[in-house]
Chain A
Amino acid sequence: DTGVSQNPRHKITKRGQNVTFRCDPISEHNRLYWYRQTLGQGPEFLTYFQNEAQLEKSRLLSDRFSAERPKGSFSTLEIQRTEQGDSAMYLCASSSMRLAGAKNIQYFGAGTRLSVL
């Protein structure tokens, strides 16, 4: 078990470009979450998946954001037409609804830091 993996660790892009981040959760975890963390703040919930189904999206997730989790494994978060306000750390977390003792615990990846110039 290598934990939650996120790629890339850092992404620098120009305003207006599209970017995509990837998250590989812990293998037996059926839930996957995306959070956004701006400088000096705590993470804020964006969206989550149970298996391959995206069950809830925050109002923070504008139409320019889309997330997928094909086959209930890895997930991607795409931001189209990036804006400077999108600059943040994007965190992925996974959890299991089935593992006794580990229920309700979210395990985080190291995040992808996005800088929009």
Chain B
Amino acid sequence: AQTVTQSQPEMSVQEAETVTLSCTYDTSESNYYLFWYKQPPSRQMILVIRQEAYKQQNATENRFSVNFQKAAKSFSLKISDSQLGDTAMYFCAFMTGLQGAQKLVFGQGTRLTINP
């Protein structure tokens, strides 16, 4: 069974700093997708960034980038120049069954607080 582990339950940084959230996963599949989702307080989950496992190049989206290490099954998220609006729960997710259900398996989440 696929599992996703986020080892940092909470993190807190000052505005404008860079922060890295960790994620490891376990799977026997060779082709899959990895995601980081953001869930602000009382608001819906929003996709931050997506990585396709067959692509060696790390995905980037503006201030957000990932460090994808396939052999180590590691998928960390780096947020540069952090902003107050980045305060949220962040979930790492693995998409399994690309030819079928394409369901997401989520980690437990990291609560990130950006302080002014």
Contacts and interface: CB of A to CB of B under 8 A. Distances in A.
Contacts, number: 55
Given A55-B101, A56-B100, A109 B44 contact: yes
Interface pairs A-B: 7 shortest CB-CB? A42-B106, A108-B45, A110-B44, A45-B103, A56-B101, A42-B91, A108-B44
Contacts of A107: 47
Nearest to A105: B47
Interface string B85-112: 0000001010100101111111111000
Interface of B: 4, 33, 37, 43-47, 50, 91, 93, 95, 98, 100-109
Q: Which of B4, B93, B100, B103 has the most CB of A within 10 A?
A: B103
A93 B39 CA distance: 14
Interface of A: 3-4, 31, 33, 35, 40-45, 48, 55-56, 91, 93, 95, 104-111
A109 B22 CA distance: 25
B109 A42 contact: yes
Contact of A43 (B98, B100, B101, B104): B104
Nearest to A106: B104
Given A40-B109, A108-B45, A110-B44, 15 more contacts: A3-B44, A31-B102, A42-B91, A42-B93, A43-B104, A45-B105, A56-B101, A93-B45, A93-B104, A104-B33, A104-B98, A104-B102, A106-B47, A108-B37, A108-B44
